[in-house]
Structure 1
């Protein structure tokens, strides 16, 4: 999240502002354009507070719309001002978006939203077909094989194993 940022006004004017046709991802697209033309710094500490209210742009109507808007932002960035960047970046951005779609599909499955989970999994495949070879894809496939009830029974054990494994890696 980028609740606050400092950007040179001259660079923002040169590159343009937010894209009105990307209401849920115009900031992401703009940050990519800015980052492609200047140095980026990061402060690893809380610098702002995010206020939620009923008309927040982050109150997305659906996970699919969020992913599609981010996909459009990435495509606009890569097809527009990022000609000097490599295909490796294009592939990486696309892959990350597809993996995020699988994470959202998995969360939807956990919540019992099986139709939403299936739509998000299909969206992930349409974004990057190679995502079906990822660990996240196979994990979701295993959950589907178990079914919602079966997954709910084994989930506590899986999460315990994950937490133990994470702690051992530290």
Structure 2
């Protein structure tokens, strides 16, 4: 079995750090290293990190005296990684049992795969990590060619991938390089697009990780103001096609497709806001009309058909009572 390096960047998530680290250290991988980088936390995280490292020699610590920002931690982890595979796991998230072995088994079998991902389980606030039914080592998976993966993002204007489930081939991560500091909220989208230039992507048909939703994490903050998330997505797409993506044979077409997908996503987000009587709908519509003026005349119905959650979208359109379930991502 191959080796895996895991980075846990942390800032004031001491209340979640132990559970996150335990979910890594309990994985059935013989050759595993864990690096915890603390960014000058003030909540007792350092004591938790030291306790974790004391009881397990596979754990390394980098305890900063000043906060250098999250990108510094991400990129230091990339420099540190030397194993076959690499995972960035935020301190408030967790892995499910067997996740690393399943991902490694597929990448061992499929040398062209740049990274793998699976499904996630969601928990809220300070809820404990739930019991996950044991899953087999060898699970069904689907291979996406890199260009098709990029095109699907462009068509939808969003990634529907649980970040904590992504295990990357380290050699590919090294070629792709660092997280970009100019993308503070969509740096992951940019990296995933760049990774897809270097191989295929394996989508595992199983739960691989858990995502904790709470008031302090940045994804919750962005979801609370949907237009900001969409604008950050647009920034990531433009950055990608300005740099590495510009050398793709059909980059001009894909760039236009991404603008269209983001505009149509903004349009249906606005519709969702109107149905729920939430503020921000007009801002979303203005963004949609600016990126794709024809949406002011013709509702982009085709976008709904491209989304994997089509049925819920149509329920929203016809006035389904459970509107919370159909909130546009």
When normalised by structure 1's length, the TM-score is 0.73
Distance in 1 between residues matched to 2:215 and 2:319, nearest whole Å = 33
Distance in 1 between residues matched to 2:245 and 2:174, nearest whole Å = 17
Contact 2:179 2:187 in 1 (8 A): yes
Contact 2:190 2:240 in 1 (8 A): yes
Structure 1 residue 66 and structure 2 residue 229: aligned?
Answer: yes
Equivalent residue pairs, number: 142
Q: Superposition pairs for residues 1-170 of structure 1, below 5 Å?
A: 1-2=161-162, 3-59=164-220, 60=222, 62-85=225-248, 86=250, 87-113=252-278, 116-136=280-300, 158-159=318-319
Larger % of strand: which?
2
Consecutive unaligned residues in structure 2, runs of 5 or more: 1-160, 302-314, 321-329
Distance in 1 between residues matched to 2:267 and 2:298, nearest whole Å = 10
RMSD: 2.3
Distance in 1 between residues matched to 2:182 and 2:203, nearest whole Å = 28
Distance in 2 between residues matched to 1:78 and 1:66, nearest whole Å = 19
The secondary structure found in structure 1 opposite 2:211 is coil
- The structure 1 segments of at least 4 consecutive aligned residues displaced by more than 6 Å after TM superposition are none
Larger % of helix: which?
1
**For the pair shown, which has the larger CA radius of gyration, 1 or 2?**
2
When normalised by structure 2's length, the TM-score is 0.40
Consecutive unaligned residues in structure 1, runs of 5 or more: 138-154, 161-170
